[in-house]
Amino acid sequence: MTPITAPLAELAPVGLTELVDQAALQTRIDRKYVVPLDEVPHLLAQLSPHARVLEIDGVRAFRYESVYFDTPVLASYHCAAYRRRRRFKVRTRSYLDSAQCWLEVKISGARGSITKHRLPYRPQDRATVHPGRDFVQEALAREAICPPSGSTLDPVLVTTYQRMTLLLPATASRVTIDTELTWQDGDRTLRLPDLAVVETKTSRAASPADRMLWQRGTRPVRISKYATGLAALRPELPDSPWRRTLRRHFRDSRPSAGTAPSTIPRSVQEASCV
């Protein structure tokens, strides 16, 4: 039993169908916070009058695995690192407890908006985009994003974590709390067992969870499970958007030993996301 178990059990449940009906939020504003794990029970207790927790077959915390794909010159990563206005991310997301999998294309647009395109996917194909390459190309074309011509998308980073999802019915918003965070890049692994990533997902206005975090002095941070994790594992990569987060929250963590990937010249990095 973890410190989160008891306060999580106090929340009223909500089923997946009702959660999606009330707060699908495929186009949304995300705010992310890095919170010490021992502060999460207090946040859950504060949210108890306002929130319901996703429950499926009596389970309230679910194991996730995401495989992130990028081009050989890391076009997706560098678009984020150089803060291009239009950015993309391609991944498979596996729900390990239910053996379900989706291929996802996430587009970051103006004023922090996020649009997600999803395709049901076979779990055995989660380490490749090959069966879904047409879906990925169509999603990127629909959003007027063109990766470098002829580029392939290969698996670059694997993340695993445990997630709890809350519905805040009054604002039709969601809150996710991710713990047991792990990143793997080849034979290099990074774990942050004492931290949680709290993410609020709203149509626009701040949610009660945002306001509670702000009152505690916790402010949104720039963190991307893909980009920040890859920057932590590959220190030769440009990391300007996440440098403060890396120094504050990742500084005491050391990835396991491995061979450092070769550095991609800056001119190639920038050209990859034009």
- Is residue 83 domain-resident? yes
pLDDT tens digit string along 87-104? 899 999 999 998 899 999
Report, as an integer, the average pLDDT of 165-170. 92
Which of the 8 DSSP states describes residue 17? H
Report, as an integer, the average pLDDT of 124-143. 93
Report, as an integer, the average pLDDT of 142-158. 82
- Is residue 74 domain-resident? yes
**Rounded-to-integer distance, Cα 226 and Cα 243, Å:** 14
Query: pLDDT averaged over the chain?
Result: 87
Cross-strand partners of 162: 63, 179
pLDDT tens digit string along 46-96? 999 999 999 999 999 999 999 999 999 999 999 999 988 788 999 999 999
**Rounded-to-integer distance, Cα 74 and Cα 67, Å:** 14
**pTM, two decimal places:** 0.85
Domain extent, residue 85, equals: 18-253
Q: Supply the pLDDT for residue 256.
A: 59
Give the count of domains, the chain: 1
**Rounded-to-integer distance, Cα 104 and Cα 70, Å:** 13
Q: Supply the pLDDT for residue 266.
A: 44
Confidence tier at 148 by pLDDT (50, 70, 90): low
Q: Supply the pLDDT for residue 56.
A: 93
Q: Give yes or no for residue 205 having a pLDDT over 90.
A: no
Quote the crossing angle between the two packed helices 208-215 and 40-47, to the nearest 10°.
130
pLDDT tens digit string along 29-39? 889 999 999 99
Nearest to 162 by CA among 246, 60, 232, 34: 60
Which of the 8 DSSP states describes residue 191? E
Q: Give yes or no for residue 244 having a pLDDT over 70.
A: yes
- Is residue 7 domain-resident? no
Q: Supply the pLDDT for residue 29.
A: 80
- 103: helix, coil or strand? strand
Q: Please state whether 171 falls in left (phi above 0), alpha (psi between -120 and 50) or beta.
A: alpha
Q: Give yes or no for residue 254 having a pLDDT over 80.
A: no
User: Which of 73-82, 145-154, 156-165, 194-203 has the least mean pLDDT?
Assistant: 145-154
Q: Supply the pLDDT for residue 268.
A: 42
Query: What does each C-alpha distance from 147 to 71, 88, 144, 195 come to in angstroms?
Result: 8, 9, 10, 34
- Is residue 274 domain-resident? no
Q: Supply the pLDDT for residue 165.
A: 95
- Is residue 263 domain-resident? no
- Is residue 107 domain-resident? yes
Q: Supply the pLDDT for residue 145.
A: 81
Q: Give yes or no for residue 113 having a pLDDT over 80.
A: no
- Is residue 3 domain-resident? no
Helices and strands of the chain, counted as H and E runs: 9, 11
Q: Give yes or no for residue 269 having a pLDDT over 70.
A: no
Q: Supply the pLDDT for residue 77.
A: 96
Cβ neighbours, 10 Å, residue 172: 15
CATH code of the domain in which 56 resides: 2.40.320.10
- Is residue 13 domain-resident? no
Tokens of 242: 């996440």
